[in-house]
Amino acid sequence: MPYIVMFTWFPPSIVKTVAQRYLETLKKLPVPSIIKRLVPVATVATKDGIESMNVDEVKKEDLGEAMEYLSKFVMEFYDIEGFRCYIKSYSTISESLKYIGMS
């Protein structure tokens, strides 16, 4: 099962704005059942501001639908000046070994 990791960064000056938008967006776009939240949201304060990440697990056949949901979710933040994000999908080690014929 693939993992989807979403990373976000934003300056401390917009923390409350981002937090409020997150709560609103979660109500508007609840996490679909195809997504298993392994790490709902983890945050850290850095010299550049706030960095957060979440880690989701999905079935391979649901990867496209999950990525579409996460893209819609994060689009709700793009009007907030200073907010940055990227989303990546990762393979498990067993999946990766299959790709190189070592299953």
pLDDT of 93 above 90? no
Cβ neighbours around 83 below 10 Å, total: 17
Burial (0-12, 13-18, 19+ Cβ within 10 Å), 23: exposed
Binned at pLDDT 50, 70 and 90, residue 94 comes out as confident
- The CATH homologous superfamily to which domain 3-99 belongs is ACT domain (3.30.70.260)
For 15, the token pair is: 């923390």
Dihedral sign (CA 44, 48, 50, 55): negative
Domain regions of the chain by residue span: 3-99
pTM to 2 decimals?
Answer: 0.86
Tell me the per-residue pLDDT of 35-51, one tens digit each, with 9 for 90 and over.
Answer: 999 999 999 999 989 99
Nearest to 49 by CA among 77, 94, 13, 5: 13
Mean residue pLDDT of the chain comes to 94
Write down the pLDDT at residue 100: 79
Tell me the per-residue pLDDT of 59-89, one tens digit each, with 9 for 90 and over.
Answer: 999 999 999 999 999 999 999 999 999 999 9
